[in-house]
Structure 1
């Protein structure tokens, strides 16, 4: 009985915004001068991140039942003082800007991919050996650039968990799956990861990333697959690793069968809508409280909702039941990122202020004394901020910091744009909140009984595995 409200949750911000569209007297530009803001305005955002990191450790049951209220409280702690300081119109205009230009496109795409991919059920069960697991991770890595990190992750995470549910150690399999299928694999096309999609909308050629960061992507993906194979092999060779055959929840089967195949057509529709929104240029825009919403973006987001509804209607119930499909992972992502997108408003404004803002030291780090970009610093600055902020707006900040002209960035400053793109995509794997699929994969794994690392436990994995690879990449591809 709770399915209808769950489905409507991603649409709530859209309905909220439409109310303001019907009230033109409230129209007000969402201008925010980050140079005038104190670092204190970043506290609600810091509180949001700390809540996501600490509550599951110190009060897991309380967090599970009330995380939406906690995140909403941080959003209110930002919006109310902001309205008092800058006026109600400015507060509403900036909230609507965050919802329309960032949150709604984000959650519409993520939810559509989650729902459609969740309707494709891979029946049968394979044996989770190191070779098979490495093959599934490699498949997810390839698919991520073709159907998005969310689509690839949602399609393969359940078969991967099912193949390994007779093993005692599974968390490391999911961690590397997040590294690869939910992040690094999406680096080659704008379909793969939201930052690259935003670059595509700004004018970066569709195949530019494929031509310019293919070596970096191959390096990180192949290195992670090799490391994973030996880590998984270490656990697999343990005599007590596998449960007794009678205790295997899903015994091995002779073949594999796919149910809900019509959803593959819907996945192609999602890909087509994303491409349409970048290629179709009718020049029609709508001014919503100072936020310009292009017709292609509006059509894309509405049709993504339609695709999701069609998937719910045409998918056999047995397919979603076989996937143990439920709304909690997308609800968790929707609620957490709603708070993140709201409380991040002043943080992004301060970053956009450049050397005049509170984060001037960060901006100065990426250029030398002559004002020339330092590629290695762009890689790390974009990556570190993408690990804790949303990687899409972070990409845009450094895209603009590097000049913001796609023609120049794709040619003369191609190495700098490559560093920004790689940092945003690859380092989104550093934390659970670096990229939306990370949290969804974690939630699905935990719902299947996998004991996943805590926020800091996951970061320990990324520090030990990813950071050394990023350091090597810096010296090979982004010269110091």
Structure 2
């Protein structure tokens, strides 16, 4: 396979670093959120609302100009910051975000996207309730280890082909979004972008696995049980199943080398969380730890190896292209810039302009209200993007990983569960949701509208989240 497509992605990933390298490094203190007005949050709200609403109400404009729209919102922060704080402090803040958060975040997604896109499941199965439930379970397990995007790409087409002779198959895709594209990514930082951001902030890799295991298990068991009941009812209601339009063929896997490379991705991420040589590299005045640089270099090399070793026919069979990852890279470049003042304000706590929101998430004695953290994080993750939403509430709670894994462990659990689980509430809650919807419609599945999908999620998911609240987040 050629590397031509990488030319679309490389400038997007490197742009924040290259553009800022010309600006002088500045040893300025962090931006003081106490002095910032609520107007500084408007670009962050603007970019997230653009992502949420423009694909629905102005799809052609968004499709052709989303990069320009994203850049506009980013400049709405960068230019006023440079004018009021100076070029040096502004460049320092942007470069810090690029090196510590944005570039590692995109590199991990790029590696998972590339490697997962090289694995193709061939053949045809027949979608009975038992088989569908088993495939959903497998996809859910895979999601935590190859990412919700990777697992969704790998499993959705075989699952749709297995049910392409069913009269009722919309619910299969809906539950796939619930489980594989969202809930299944809760057990490791590899599973969902919010958790990887937490990992970059210092949350231990296996803290996530241990803390999220029981809530995830309860949610998965409940959703699979409900799915099996619904699918069994509809399967019996259909009676005689129509002839299968997909010819029978043996089940197999193409691009198996990528399964080995997927293991290498996991090891590279684990390496950065367990190996600490105590060496820091200074890049324009920003310190980057050697283990993190090593991880990112390894991930890029693994992705390049996948491109080299995977047959072009295999990727073509998966309809692999660079469009989704390029879109994510552009959008998150804007998100990570516009979120800077919002995080600074939240770090100011009750002394900042968002003091009332901070107070809402606290009990009268000053301790965190974990119920509110779960539902506030989840509610915003349903309609905005769960990665920056996680980051906002992570910083609101403390911003210190040691504290959040220790005395505030339940608060971090509430933030993590809200961000990952409730991304399933709408099509726009998590990036794979819309990707799965588009693939399903391309394969002639009549998916519900935006609000039709929400009807499913409100009926199925909200009672599940209410139960998790009673079990884990009452205090």
TM-score, length of structure 2 as denominator length: 0.88
Structure 1 outlier segments of 4+, above 6 Å: 240-243
Q: Any residues of structure 2 matched to 1:208-287 within 5 Å, and which?
A: 208-233=207-232, 235-237=234-236, 239=238, 245=244, 248=245, 250-253=246-249, 255-287=250-282
RMSD of aligned alpha carbons:
3.1
Q: Hey, what's the Cα distance between the residues in 1 that align with 2:80 and 2:72?
A: 13
Alignment gaps of 5+ in structure 2:
none
Cα contact 2:31–2:344 (8 A) shared by 1: yes
Aligned length: 475
Q: In the alignment, is residue 313 of structure 1 matched against residue 308 of structure 2?
A: yes
Q: Hey, what's the Cα distance between the residues in 2 that align with 1:78 and 1:21?
A: 15
Q: After superposition, what is the alpha-carbon deviation per residue over 1:103-131, rounded to whole angstroms, capped at 9, x for unaligned?
A: 21121111211111111111101123333
* CA displacement at 1:10 relative to structure 2: 3.4
1:94 maps to 93
**Structure-2 change in CA distance of 1:376 and 1:88 (3 Å):** same
Q: Any residues of structure 2 matched to 1:76-115 within 5 Å, and which?
A: 76-115=75-114
1:378 maps to 373
* CA displacement at 1:4 relative to structure 2: 4.8
Q: Secondary structure at the match of 1:213?
A: helix
Alignment gaps of 5+ in structure 1:
none
Q: Hey, what's the Cα distance between the residues in 1 that align with 2:429 and 2:180?
A: 14
Cα contact 2:143–2:184 (8 A) shared by 1: yes
Q: Hey, what's the Cα distance between the residues in 2 that align with 1:243 and 1:85?
A: 67
367-376 vs 79-88, which moves further: 79-88
Q: Hey, what's the Cα distance between the residues in 2 that align with 1:18 and 1:176?
A: 40
2:348 maps to 353
Q: Hey, what's the Cα distance between the residues in 2 that align with 1:223 and 1:58?
A: 35
Cα contact 1:178–1:438 (8 A) shared by 2: yes
TM-score, length of structure 1 as denominator length: 0.87
365-374 vs 404-413, which moves further: 404-413
Q: After superposition, what is the alpha-carbon deviation per residue over 1:125-146, rounded to whole angstroms, capped at 9, x for unaligned?
A: 1123333222111111112223
* CA displacement at 1:388 relative to structure 2: 4.6
**Structure-2 change in CA distance of 1:155 and 1:47 (3 Å):** same
* CA displacement at 1:315 relative to structure 2: 0.3
Q: Any residues of structure 2 matched to 1:331-342 within 5 Å, and which?
A: 331-342=326-337
Q: Any residues of structure 2 matched to 1:57-456 within 5 Å, and which?
A: 57-167=56-166, 170-233=169-232, 235-237=234-236, 239=238, 245=244, 248=245, 250-253=246-249, 255-289=250-284, 291-388=286-383, 390-404=385-399, 406-456=401-451
**Structure-2 change in CA distance of 1:201 and 1:324 (3 Å):** closer
Q: In the alignment, is residue 55 of structure 1 matched against residue 54 of structure 2?
A: yes
Cα contact 1:37–1:350 (8 A) shared by 2: yes
Q: Hey, what's the Cα distance between the residues in 1 that align with 2:285 and 2:184?
A: 36
Q: Secondary structure at the match of 2:288?
A: strand
Q: Hey, what's the Cα distance between the residues in 1 that align with 2:179 and 2:154?
A: 14
**Structure-2 change in CA distance of 1:38 and 1:366 (3 Å):** same
Q: Hey, what's the Cα distance between the residues in 2 that align with 1:114 and 1:196?
A: 17
Cα contact 2:207–2:405 (8 A) shared by 1: yes
* CA displacement at 1:314 relative to structure 2: 0.6
Q: Secondary structure at the match of 1:358?
A: coil
**Structure-2 change in CA distance of 1:15 and 1:211 (3 Å):** closer
